[in-house]
Amino acid sequence: MTSREVLQAALALPAEERIELIEELEASLPAQMAPSTLALINERGARARAGEPGIPGEEVFAEARRR
């Protein structure tokens, strides 16, 4: 399964399950990660838990391809 397929499957999950997935992925990250990166992950997780909609995967990947 490609990372894109994993993303599409994750986006199809209910919000509560996506939040759980975010938390599990965050917990799996190396401890040496930059504090600014962890802060961003925590901020986005908090916004997701608050019910704020995220950015659709297609938009994220399109932006990444443009850079």
Label residue 49 exposed, middle or buried (CB < 10 Å: 0-12, 13-18, 19+): middle
Task: Quick: pLDDT tens for 9-64.
Answer: 999 999 999 999 988 988 887 777 778 888 888 898 899 889 988 888 888 888 88
Instruction: Check residue 63 and give its pLDDT.
Output: 84
pTM over 0.85? The answer is: no
Angle between helices 15-27 and 35-49 (to 10 degrees): 160
Instruction: Check residue 12 and give its pLDDT.
Output: 95
Instruction: Check residue 41 and give its pLDDT.
Output: 85
Instruction: Check residue 8 and give its pLDDT.
Output: 92
**Does the pLDDT of residue 3 top 80, yes or no?**
yes
Of the CA atoms within 13 Å of residue 20, those in its CB half-sphere come to: 5
Spell out the residues 6+ positions from residue 51 whose beta carbon is closer than 8 angstroms to its own.
15
